[in-house]
Amino acid sequence: MKALERFLKYIAIPTASDEKSTVTPSTACQFDLSRHLAEEMIAMGLSDVSVDEHAYVYGFIPASPGLEEKKAIGLIAHLDTVAGFEEKPVNYQIIEHYDGGPIRLGESGKVIEPSRFPHLKRKVGKTIVTTDGTTVLGADDKAGIAAILTACEQLLASGKAHGKICVCFTPDEEIGHGASLLDLKRFGADYAYTVDGGGPEDMEYETFNAAGAKWEITGFEVHPGSAKDTMINASLVAMEINSMLPAGQTPRDTSGREGFFHLCAISGDVSRTVMEYIIRDHDPKLFELKKQQMKSIAHQINCKYGDGTARLTLTDQYQNMAEIVCRYPEILDIARQAISDVGLTPQSHPVRGGTDGAQLSFRGLPCPNLGAGGYSFHGPYEHLVAEELDQSVQVLLNVIEAFSKR
C-alpha cells in the first residue's frame, strides 16, 4: 500500500484530543484508530501487536538471524490531532502537479497563499493534499504513522537483514501527555525517532524548555458609584499583569531560539479573572528567568492590592531534549546520512514547540524527530506533500539499514 493511500484512510478516523480531560486517552475516539492500526500491523506481519488500556499501540519486527545484538530502533508517531475541529469530518482535496499559485480550500473562502507560506515555491510540480478549509488535515501526525507503517511493510517485503524494530503509536501528544505512559521496558528500544511533522529533510533535536502559568485573580466588587479606593477589578488587574511582562516577548515577536510568554486564554469579570499562559525558551537560564519574572509580578501585585489577590501556579511541562540527545551523536549522524542518501540536504532547526521525543529523551530513550512531509499544522491551512511523504519512508528505511550495519 502506498503511504498516501494509508494516510487518507487514517484521516477519515477522528482522533482530536481534549486538554480538559483527566484520563488517557483524553478522547475515546483515539481507540478507533489504535484498533485499526493494530489490525493492520498484524496483517502486515508485525509481532506481539497490542493496544493497551490507554490506547498505546505496540508492535515489533524481530531482528534478522545473526543481528540480534544490534541496537533496537524505535519508531514513534502520535494518534491524536489538535482539538477544535473534531465535530467535522475531514474533506480532503488533492492538487496534482501544483503550479505554484494560491490553493483555494473548497468553498470556505480560505486560501493557502504562497506569500504567507513561502515553502510552497519549492513544491511546484508536486502533489499537495489539503482540506476544504473547515478542519485540520491530520498530517500532524497521521503522516508520521503512514510513513512508519509503509516503511515496515517495505522492509518486510524486501527480505533485507535488519536489527529489531520497535513501533509505538501514542495518544494525546497534542496536550503534552503522549510519552508519559509509554512503557519503555515493554517497548525495548535502545534509540528511537519520532516521525512528527516537517519536511523529509528535517532532523530536529532541540526543543523549548516549557512551562504553563495559570493566574487566578480575586477582585473586590462593590458598587461602582462608591468604589473609590475600595474596588479591585480583577479584569483590570489581569490587564496590569500582562502589561508588566517584557514587551516584545510574544510568539508574534520572536523566532529561532527566542523565547516568549503566550497568553492562551483569559476569562472573568470584576470579581474573578483567570489567565492561562505558556512560557517557552530554549536557553535553560532564560527559561528560569521567565518563571522568576512571573513570580516577581505576583509578589508586586499582592503587595499592591493585598495578599491573595493574585494566585500564580507554574507547572513545568518539558525540557530541551538537546541536553540528552547530543550525548548520542551517532543517532544524529545516521539520520543526517539517511536524509542525504535520498538526495536531500539535512536541516536542523530549533523546534518552537515540543514532541514526544522531549519527554522520552529525559526518561532515558534518546529520541530526535524526523519529518513526514506535512506543513502549517494546527489550523485549516495544514497541508501535505505526497512525494515528500514517500521520501520520509525511504529515510526511515535508510536509518534501519544503517543501524543494521553498525
Confidence of residue 26 (pLDDT cuts 50, 70, 90): very high
Same domain as 313, residue 334: no
Instruction: Give pLDDT, residue 88.
Output: 73
- Rounded Cα distance between 198 and 388, Å, is 10
- Rounded Cα distance between 247 and 164, Å, is 51
Instruction: Give pLDDT, residue 25.
Output: 96
Tell me: pLDDT of 86 over 60. no
> Who contacts 288 (Cβ-Cβ below 8 Å, separation ≥6)?
none
Annotated active-site residue 281? The verdict is: no
And the C-alpha cell for 117? 507560506
Confidence of residue 150 (pLDDT cuts 50, 70, 90): very high
H or E segment to which residue 275 belongs: strand 272-281
Write the CATH number for 165. Answer: 3.40.630.10
Instruction: Give pLDDT, residue 27.
Output: 95
Confidence of residue 110 (pLDDT cuts 50, 70, 90): very high
Percent of the chain with pLDDT strictly greater than 70: 99
Same domain as 62, residue 165: yes
- Go through 111-125 and write b for each residue having 16 or more CB atoms within 10 A of its CB, e for each that does not: ebebeeeeebeebee
Same domain as 162, residue 222: no
Same domain as 54, residue 188: yes
And the C-alpha cell for 90? 475531514
- Rounded Cα distance between 136 and 58, Å, is 26
Identity of the residue numbered 277: Y
Residues 369/194, Cβ–Cβ less than 8 Å: yes
- Rounded Cα distance between 282 and 352, Å, is 9
- Rounded Cα distance between 20 and 315, Å, is 16
Tell me: pLDDT of 85 over 80. no
> Which residue range is the domain that position 27 belongs to?
3-206+320-404
Same domain as 331, residue 267: no
In the set 18, 40, 80, 281, the catalytic residue is 80
Nearest partner of 242 among 220, 211, 267, 215, judged by Cα: 215
Same domain as 256, residue 168: no
pLDDT in tens, 223-277: 999 999 999 999 999 999 999 999 999 999 999 999 999 999 999 999 999 999 9
Tell me: pLDDT of 367 over 60. yes
Instruction: Give pLDDT, residue 87.
Output: 62
Apex CA 176: angle with CA 172 and CA 181, to 5°?
65
Q: Which residue has the cell 493585598?
A: 306
Write the CATH number for 308. Answer: 3.30.70.360
384: helix, strand or coil? strand
Same domain as 177, residue 64: yes
Same domain as 311, residue 233: yes
Same domain as 95, residue 223: no
User: What mean pLDDT value characterizes the chain?
Assistant: 95
Annotated active-site residue 173? The verdict is: yes
Nearest partner of 240 among 217, 210, 264, 209, judged by Cα: 217
- Picking from 318, 336, 353, the residue at the C-terminal end of a domain is 318
Same domain as 196, residue 69: yes
Same domain as 162, residue 231: no
**Pairing label, strands 383-385, 128-131:** antiparallel
- Rounded Cα distance between 219 and 347, Å, is 50
In the set 18, 40, 172, 173, the catalytic residue is 173
Instruction: Give pLDDT, residue 335.
Output: 97
Dihedral sign computed on CA atoms, order 93, 94, 97, 100: positive
pLDDT in tens, 159-171: 999 999 999 999 9
- Picking from 318, 347, 379, the residue at the C-terminal end of a domain is 318
Instruction: Give pLDDT, residue 1.
Output: 79
- Picking from 292, 318, 344, the residue at the C-terminal end of a domain is 318
Instruction: Give pLDDT, residue 175.
Output: 87
Which segments of 1-159 are extended strands (E)? 47-51, 57-61, 73-78, 92-95, 103-104, 111-112, 128-131
- Rounded Cα distance between 158 and 156, Å, is 6
353: helix, strand or coil? coil
pLDDT in tens, 63-81: 999 999 999 999 999 999 9
Tell me: pLDDT of 278 over 60. yes
What average pLDDT does range 191-212 have in this prediction? 94
Same domain as 220, residue 341: no
Residue 17 CA from chain centroid, whole number: 12
Domain count along the chain: 2
- Rounded Cα distance between 219 and 224, Å, is 13
pTM of the predicted structure, to 2 decimals = 0.88
Instruction: Give pLDDT, residue 152.
Output: 98
Tell me: pLDDT of 16 over 90. yes
Confidence of residue 145 (pLDDT cuts 50, 70, 90): very high
